[in-house]
């Protein structure tokens, strides 16, 4: 990449601008979207006119100030203020539309130049940064306006102008007095231009040397050097002057002190004269002329401590660098001089630049260097020579000319060294630099930016690298932005790669091409050939060696890819039976093939390898050693790559040709083995028997080249095969994993036999022993385990639901299982998986209890193990049973029978994990976990309690109860209990939802389930001696650690306290009764229970504490009152549920039984028949009166009754009791019970007998 001049804007109407420039005009840029060319930014005339009509003064300088808005977050200017300097010494400020904002005459000389300094942050240690300042340059003075007060005044004037233009001019104009510092150039005869460098510090040695030279040996001096403001001026005598103003201001002159004292005294006398009239002077004597303005303010003189003297030379302009350390001066003799501003030295002088215009370009490094964390920056000097019509660019650091551009002789070089203004000394969050620092304006009105790359500031050694970097960027830009075909891509990439000089960039180019989505194989082959030709002649340094190896690896992999994409002739396999290839029995092969036929999963959609080469080449890690796979390659990408590598080979291609190409590819053997397994596991073979033979040969070909690393001692375990088994164990494609394990075992046996045979031949002895390697044993175990898991996976299909499965079924979820997943989940994995499947089947849990399980027949588990042959026979019979069950499913078998058949098959493979108690415990927990995700579905909790009640093993049941209570039930029941105890009743929905998480109706149902649960819990605590209370597991988890099984966790729970469970059961009854009937009972948790026991509510259920029961009349009275209110409420439900067919009293009977149970727990006497009879006697009388009142012969019936009974009945008055219509038989039965329970010594016994006699009278 080289220097360039790039167009950025155009003046729209150049002729009109030229005419108007004889007066004054303002141009404003606009973005022209209709412009067909690249330059869409155009300057249009926004205002034109005469700034000072009828005035002899003229414009000497002009400056545009971009002002930012303080209340906005954007990094662009809000408005532009135009500063204009006049020959009269006036400084005037205008808006973009020519409206005057402010004017001030700072000095009575023509203004030579206007310069600006924007706010910049310190760049390094010791740098103080720059503050905002405006510099107004006169012939003999320099006025410095601080930015903050000046820009604040401008904003105030602009706001006032807006009010005036809006016809709201009641406000007074803001004060226009400007704060500034005036510095005098007294030691400079002619000053054509100057620059304010800013605060400078002198080191102690220079300070002492200057004091000694100026004052001699006995001169007095300060111990530390003072701070100075440096102002550089160029002109004549001296050619360059370095003027210093002491920081803090000049010392006061004695005459000025006298004048100040006199003024203070006059003011004091004037105040006295106000109080004493005769002391006051006359008005005419007090009047004085106006105080002189800023024009007459004396300038603070500066000392020209040194300079560059040249009597014949006169400087025309001075331009300093952005950091103000360097400056360039153009003079009348056609020279340009480079000055060190801090040290006062002329560093360099260029000749032949008459009327030169200069500017600076600061370029920042694109990429951070490895050594420093900060980006480096570099300065370039731009010199425009109008007489020659050229623009030269010089490097300041290296001192050499970089390039020369041809330009018009009538142009103008514009240099902008400031950014946005009006920041109020607050450092911005963005770099405050000019957008375009150096711009060339040609006569046709075009604005062109001068661009210089950073690498031109570097030395020749680094220049090669920088040049290569930009070639690299050019390559990336070409690939990213341009349109090309394959030929153009090869040509352009080859052209750029031939120009590269450094190995570091060559390697970066290769790495970038490897990750590009536009790359093709021929491009990489072309690039590697180009680099190899160059690297052959170089010395083999470390970078060269690594690049040579990288090129070789890429070349071999690309050639391998082209081989894989080439057309391959199909080759027929030699006839060999599958058992002979897999080195196993015919029976095992038959069993595996039957499992494959039973597998009814959908075949996975084939993925086409689109954009194959990009995905293929970007997946590999190139470098030292062999080519490996990248660590972050996704599984889908691995499947695509494996499909490309192995599909043709397994579908009939030559395996020998493939082996030859794979060996020359440089791919690591482990990578080929992993991809082979990935491909086999990701596909569903159509011809399993044929493709399994080819796959075995392919694996043998891969492993044969790595035989030395694979084959270890027979009692050791090979890392190669261990990694292979790890892949197979973690695969969810279980049938493919099983067949791959068979192939790998066959290869392991073959390699071990070859190695042993070679060892025997070398040793010369043959003992007739055959070593069985540890890896072969491990593969045999893996095959058996995979076979079990395949059968399990066959079972886990969505179960059918019909009339035979009416239990609550949860939504079915497909479970992706693998052997590794099951082992990592611990010994309870099988139980959890099957329980989750059963939860979606809707099968009655009672049907799942199998009395032939191991837990019911402990003798089975203690029997000696079967022989290997008998195991195989049993296995074959099981598989035939599996086939039978599958066939039966297709007929009209109900869902329950299908599920039970599958469970019978599974229990043969997993007898310990699927015992009735373990299975039902896990099934219970599946329902509980589903309910915990949506507690409003209380029917799921009810189903969980139903399953819980059916667990045969009591120790297992009580353990599940403990877990369910502590994790899910206790906290929610406690919240409901506290809420009811606080309010005395169950509140409405809002409070219930807030505290319990359920509505009031749902809370009532939840409390009913709590009672059922505590009843099951209490029953489980009456433990019998469980001889088989041990949870066993299959051999699958031997030597594997994992989480504790749920069944083992449950059976190891500490049994709960019987008294505590009984206490919470009583509380559950109370809370449910209050919630169901809406009874209001104050503080039921304290008034109905002993104070000693109430504090044990919802504490640790396993605390062993025996409660002492004692008689308390108040408590017993509250309990009796509560039970009576519940009974009354339940009796009222009979009236509510009365139908035409009769009275429905089932609910009342149920609640009566609950009250009876609760009363027995509270030790309330249930056999007090006398009190019952006393309370029922008036009710029986009212029923008799009700019956008699409906009789058509009322008087006759009454006359037949005893007068004493008639008088008794008339005196009955039971408020609040409504007597419904009852049959005469029920009334007679009630009266019989009353006369039976009422003792003959009771006062009302006589009336009971009269009622009984009367019933016989009107019944007859």
pLDDT over 80 (residue 236): yes
State the Cα–Cα distance between residues 192 and 316, nearest whole angstrom. 6
Does residue 338 lie within any of the structural domains? no
Mean pLDDT throughout 364-392?
79
Q: CB atoms < 10 A from the CB of 623, how many?
A: 12
Give domain status of residue 298, yes or no. Answer: no
Domain that holds residue 54: 4-184
pLDDT of residue 708: 81
Yes or no: say if 384 and 360 are a contact pair by the CB < 8 Å rule. Answer: no
Looking at per-residue confidence, does 1192 or 303 come out higher? Answer: 303
Give the per-residue pLDDT at 1003: 95
The DSSP symbol for 1220 reads P
Query: 848 lies in a domain?
Result: yes
Q: What is the pLDDT of residues 394-452, one digit of tens each?
A: 988 667 888 899 999 989 999 999 999 988 778 777 778 888 899 999 888 889 999 98
Pairing between β-strand 181-184 and β-strand 300-301 as defined by DSSP bridges: parallel
Whether the predicted pLDDT of 644 surpasses 70: yes
Adjacent-strand bridge partners of 81: 65
Cα–Cα dist 719/725, whole Å: 10
Average pLDDT for residues 501-505, to the nearest whole number?
Answer: 86
Alpha-carbon separation of residue 162 from 67, 166, 758, 1132 (angstroms):
17, 6, 103, 85
**CA nearest 64: which of 420, 448, 359?**
420
Q: What average pLDDT does range 307-315 have in this prediction?
A: 91
Consecutive H or E run containing 1067: helix 1058-1077
- pLDDT at 60 (0 to 100): 93
pLDDT greater than 50 at residue 892: no
Query: Above 80 in pLDDT, residue 624?
Result: no
Mean pLDDT across the stretch 588-617? Answer: 68
Give which of 92, 248, 107 is closest to 191, Cα–Cα. Answer: 107
Rounded to 5 degrees, φ, ψ at 747 are -65, -40
Note whether 890 and 913 are same-domain residues. yes
Closest CA to 619 of 645, 643, 638, 642: 638
Run of H or E including 164:
helix 147-165
Q: Supply φ then ψ for residue 881, to 5 degrees.
A: -60, -40
Using a pLDDT cut of 70, give the percent of the chain over it: 83
Asked if pLDDT for residue 649 goes beyond 70, the answer is: yes
Average confidence (pLDDT) over 302-330 = 92
User: What pLDDT shows up at residue 868?
Assistant: 42
Q: How many CB atoms lie within 10 A of CB 1121?
A: 13
- 523 lies in the same domain as 599: no
pLDDT of 1138 higher than 90: no
**Residue 890: how many CB atoms within 10 A of its CB?**
7
A 10 A CB-CB count for 74 gives 9
- pLDDT for the residue 609: 45
Residue 127 and residue 60 share a domain: yes
Position with higher pLDDT, 878 vs 214: 214
The tens digit of pLDDT for each residue in 17-67 reads: 766 664 555 666 666 665 666 677 888 888 888 887 777 888 999 999 999
The owner of tokens 């946005």 is 420
- Band (pLDDT 50/70/90 cuts) for residue 687 is confident
Hey, which of 261-265, 266-270, 762-766, 1083-1087 has the most confident mean pLDDT?
Answer: 1083-1087
**Domain end: 184, 214, 241, which one?**
184
Q: Which residue has the higher pLDDT, 468 or 132?
A: 132
- CA dist list (Å): 1146 to 645, 1130, 1137, 1223: 76, 10, 10, 18
Regarding predicted confidence, which is higher, 155 or 457? 155
Query: How many helices and strands in the chain, by DSSP H and E?
Result: 43, 29
Please report whether residue 902 resides in a domain.
yes
Measuring CA to CA, which residue among 77, 22, 11, 19 is closest to residue 45?
11
Residue 620 contacts residue 627 (beta carbons within 8 Å): yes
**57, part of any domain:** yes
For residue 284, pLDDT beyond 70: no
> What is the distance, to the nearest Å, from the Cα of residue 240 to the centroid of all Cα atoms in its chain?
62
- pLDDT score for 824: 92
**Residue 293 scores a pLDDT above 70:** no
Q: Residues near 191 by Cβ (< 8 Å), separated by ≥ 6?
A: 112, 137, 139, 140, 185, 233, 234, 235, 241
Based on the domain organization, do 543 and 600 belong to the same domain?
Answer: no
Greater model confidence, 377 or 1134: 377
- Mean pLDDT for all residues in the chain: 82
Better-scored residue on pLDDT, 1102 or 466: 1102
| Coil vs helix vs strand at 626 | coil
Model pLDDT, residue 740: 94
Tokens 């394990």, located at residue: 741
Over range 1173-1193, report the average pLDDT.
81
648 and 689 part of one domain = yes
Q: CB under 8 Å to 809, separation ≥6 — which residues?
A: 801, 839, 840, 841, 842
Check pLDDT > 90 for residue 946: yes
Asked whether the predicted pLDDT for residue 1163 surpasses 90, the reply is: no
Residue 969 and residue 466: Cα distance in Å, rounded? 72
- 365 pLDDT band, cuts 50/70/90, is confident
Q: How many CB atoms lie within 10 A of CB 148?
A: 16
- At residue 393, φ and ψ (nearest 5 deg) are -120, 125
Cβ-contact 807, 942 below 8 angstroms: no
**Cα distance between residue 1219 and residue 1135, in whole Å:** 10
Q: What is the pLDDT of residue 887?
A: 41
Contact (CB, 8 A) for 937 and 1005: no
Structural domains of the chain, count: 5
The per-residue pLDDT for 250 is: 44
- What pLDDT, on the 0 to 100 scale, is given for residue 212? 84
> Of 1033, 1065, 1086, which residue sits at a domain end?
1086
- Select, from the ranges 802-816, 1070-1084, 1130-1144, the one with the highest average predicted confidence (pLDDT): 1070-1084
- Is 594 found in the same domain as 480? no
Q: Is residue 201 part of a domain?
A: no
Tell me, yes or no, whether 594 and 644 share the same domain: yes
Query: Regarding predicted confidence, which is higher, 225 or 949?
Result: 949
* pLDDT (0 to 100) of residue 71: 66
pLDDT at 1001: 94
Show the DSSP H helices in 825-867 as ranges: 829-839, 858-861
Note whether 587 and 541 are same-domain residues: no
On whether both 514 and 659 belong to a single domain, the answer is: no
Q: What is the DSSP string of 1026-1066?
A: -TT------GGGTT---PPPHHHHHHTSPPPPHHHHHHHHH
pLDDT for 895 equals 82
Q: Please identify, among 540, 565, 590, the residue that sits at the C-terminal boundary of a domain.
A: 565
90-94, strands of its sheet edge to edge? 59-67, 79-86, 90-94, 100-105
The answer as to whether 264 is a domain residue is no
pLDDT at 372 over 90: no
754/616 same-domain check: yes
Which has the closest alpha carbon to 710: 695, 700, 721, 699? 721
Which range is least confidently modeled, 245-249, 786-790, 1252-1256?
A: 245-249
| DSSP for residue 833 | H
What is the arithmetic mean of pLDDT over 684-700? Answer: 86
Same domain, 780 and 804: no
Instruction: Judge whether 206 lies within some domain.
Output: no
| pLDDT grade for 290, boundaries at 50, 70 and 90 | very low
| Co-location of 549 and 613 in the same domain | no
């Amino acid at each position: 990449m080289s220097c360039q001049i790039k167009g950025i804007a155009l003046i729209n109407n150049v002729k009109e601008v030229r005419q108007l420039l004889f007066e004054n005009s303002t141009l404003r840029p606009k973005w022209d979207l209709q412009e067909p060319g690249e330059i869409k930014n155009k300057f249009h005339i926004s205002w034109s006119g005469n700034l000072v009509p009828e005035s002899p003064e003229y414009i000497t300088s002009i400056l545009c100030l971009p002002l930012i808005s303080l209340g906005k977050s954007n990094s662009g200017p809000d408005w532009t203020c135009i500063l204009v300097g006049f020959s009269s010494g006036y400084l005037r400020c205008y808006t973009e539309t020519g409206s005057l904002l402010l004017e001030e005459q700072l000095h009575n000389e023509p203004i030579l130049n206007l310069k600006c300094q924007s706010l910049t942050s310190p760049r390094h240690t010791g740098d103080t940064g720059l503050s905002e300042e405006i510099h107004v340059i006169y012939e003999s003075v320099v006025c410095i306006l601080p930015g903050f007060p000046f820009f604040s005044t401008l904003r105030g004037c602009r706001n006032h102008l807006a009010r005036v233009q809006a016809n709201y001019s009641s406000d007074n104009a803001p004060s226009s007095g400007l704060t500034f510092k005036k510095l005098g150039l007294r030691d400079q005869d002619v000053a054509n231009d100057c620059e304010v460098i800013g605060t400078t510090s002198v080191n102690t040695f220079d300070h002492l040397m200057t004091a000694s030279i100026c004052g001699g040996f006995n001169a007095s001096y300060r111990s530390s050097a003072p701070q100075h403001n440096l102002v550089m001026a160029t002109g004549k005598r001296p050619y360059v002057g370095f003027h210093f103003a002491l920081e803090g201001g000049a010392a006061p002159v004695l005459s000025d002190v006298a004048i100040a004292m006199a003024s203070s005294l006059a003011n004091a006398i004037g105040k006295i004269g106000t109080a004493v009239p005769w002391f006051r002077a006359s008005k005419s004597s007090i009047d004085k002329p106006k105080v002189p303005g800023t024009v007459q303010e004396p300038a603070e003189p500066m000392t020209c401590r040194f300079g560059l003297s040249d009597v014949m030379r006169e400087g025309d302009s001075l331009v300093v660098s952005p950091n103000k350390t360097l400056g360039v001066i153009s003079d009348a003799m056609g020279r340009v001089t480079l000055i060190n501003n801090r040290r006062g030295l002329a560093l360099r002088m260029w000749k032949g630049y008459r009327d030169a215009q200069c500017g600076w370009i600061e370029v920042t490094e694109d990429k951070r260097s490895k050594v420093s964390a900060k980006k480096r920056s570099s300065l370039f000097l731009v010199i425009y020579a109008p007489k020659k019509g050229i623009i030269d660019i010089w490097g300041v650091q290296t001192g050499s000319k970089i390039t020369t551009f041809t330009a018009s002789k009538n142009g103008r070089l514009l240099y902008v060294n400031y950014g946005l203004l009006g920041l109020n000394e607050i450092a911005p969050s963005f770099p405050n630099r000019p957008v375009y620092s150096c711009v060339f304006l040609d006569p046709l009105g075009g604005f062109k930016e001068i661009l210089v790359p950073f690498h031109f500031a570097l030395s020749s050694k680094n220049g090669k690298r920088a040049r290569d970097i930009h070639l690299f960027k050019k390559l990336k830009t070409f690939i990213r932005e341009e349109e090309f075909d394959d030929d153009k891509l090869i040509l352009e990439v080859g052209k750029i790669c031939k120009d590269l000089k450094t190995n570091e960039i060559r390697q970066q180019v290769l790495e970038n091409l490897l990750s590009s989505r536009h790359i093709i194989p021929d491009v990489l082959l072309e690039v590697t050939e180009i680099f190899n030709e160059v690297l052959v002649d170089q010395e083999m340094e470390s970078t060269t060696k690594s690049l040579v190896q990288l090129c070789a690896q890429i070349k071999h992999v690309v050639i391998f890819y082209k081989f894989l994409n080439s057309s391959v002739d199909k080759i027929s396999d030699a006839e060999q039976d599958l058992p002979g290839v897999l080195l196993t029995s015919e029976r095992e092969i038959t069993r595996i093939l039957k499992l494959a036929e039973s597998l009814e999963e959908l075949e996975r959609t084939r993925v086409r390898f689109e954009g194959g080469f990009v995905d293929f080449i970007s997946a590999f890690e190139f470098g030292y050693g062999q080519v490996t796979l990248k660590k972050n390659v996704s599984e889908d990408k691995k499947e695509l790559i494996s499909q490309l590598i192995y599909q043709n080979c397994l579908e009939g291609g030559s395996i020998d040709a493939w082996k030859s190409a794979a060996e020359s590819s440089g791919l690591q053997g482990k990578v080929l083995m992993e991809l082979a397994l990935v491909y086999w596991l990701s596909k569903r073979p159509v011809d399993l028997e044929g493709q399994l033979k080819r796959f075995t040969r392919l694996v043998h070909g891969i492993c044969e080249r790595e035989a030395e690393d694979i084959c270890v001692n027979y009692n050791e375990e090979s890392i190669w095969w261990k990694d292979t088994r790890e892949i197979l164990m973690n695969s969810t494609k279980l049938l493919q994993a099983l067949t791959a394990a068979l192939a790998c075992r066959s290869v392991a046996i073959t390699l071990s036999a070859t190695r042993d045979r070679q060892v025997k031949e070398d040793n010369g002895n043959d003992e007739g022993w055959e070593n069985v390697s540890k890896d072969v044993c491990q593969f045999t175990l893996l095959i058996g385990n995979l076979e079990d898991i395949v059968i399990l996976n066959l079972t886990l299909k969505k179960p059918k639901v019909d009339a035979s499965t009416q239990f609550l079924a949860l939504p079915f979820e497909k479970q992706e299982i693998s052997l590794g997943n099951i082992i990592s989940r611990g010994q309870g994995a099988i139980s959890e998986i099957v329980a989750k499947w059963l939860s979606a089947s809707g099968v009655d849990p009672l049907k799942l209890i199998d009395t032939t399980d191991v837990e019911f027949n402990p003798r089975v588990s203690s029997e000696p193990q079967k022989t290997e042959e008998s195991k195989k026979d049993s296995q074959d019979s099981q598989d035939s049973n599996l086939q039978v069950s599958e066939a039966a499913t297709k007929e009209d078998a109900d869902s329950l029978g299908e599920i039970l058949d599958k469970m019978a098959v599974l229990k043969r493979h997993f007898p310990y994990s699927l015992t009735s108690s373990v299975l039902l415990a896990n099934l219970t927990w599946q329902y509980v976990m589903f309910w915990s995700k949506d507690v409003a579905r209380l029917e799921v909790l009810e189903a969980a309690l139903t399953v819980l009640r059916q667990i045969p093993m009591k120790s297992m049941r009580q353990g599940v109860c403990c877990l369910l209570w502590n994790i899910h039930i206790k906290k929610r029941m406690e919240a409901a209990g506290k809420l009811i105890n606080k309010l005395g009743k169950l509140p409405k929905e809002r409070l219930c939802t807030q505290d319990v998480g359920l509505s009031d109706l749902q809370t009532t149902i939840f409390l009913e389930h709590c009672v059922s649960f505590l009843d099951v819990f209490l029953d489980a605590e009456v433990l019998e001696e469980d001889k088989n209370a041990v949870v066993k597991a299959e051999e699958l988890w031997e030597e594997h650690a994992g989480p504790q099984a749920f069944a083992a966790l449950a059976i190891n729970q500490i049994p709960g306290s019987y008294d505590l469970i009984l206490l919470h059961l009583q509380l559950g009854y109370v809370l449910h009764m209050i919630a169901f009937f809406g009874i209001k009972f104050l503080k039921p948790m304290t008034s109905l229970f002993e104070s000693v026991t109430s504090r044990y509510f919802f504490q640790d259920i396993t605390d062993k504490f025996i409660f002492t029961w004692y008689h308390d009349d108040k408590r017993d009275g509250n309990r009796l009152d509560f039970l009576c209110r519940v009974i009354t409420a339940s009796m009222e439900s009979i009236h509510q549920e009365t139908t035409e067919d009769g009275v429905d009293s089932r609910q009342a009977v149920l609640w009566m039984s609950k009250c009876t149970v609760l009363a027995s727990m509270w030790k309330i006497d249930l056999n007090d028949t006398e009190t019952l009879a006393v309370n029922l006697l008036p009710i029986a009388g009212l029923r008799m009166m009700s019956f008699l009142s409906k009789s058509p012969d009322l008087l006759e019936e009454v006359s037949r009754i005893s007068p004493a009974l008639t008088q008794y009945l008339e005196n009955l008055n039971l408020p609040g009791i409504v007597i419904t219509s009852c049959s005469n038989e029920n009334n007679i039965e009630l009266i019989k019970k009353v006369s039976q329970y009422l003792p003959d010594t009771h006062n009302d016994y006589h009336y009971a007998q009269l009622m009984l006699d009367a019933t016989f009278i009107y019944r007859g």
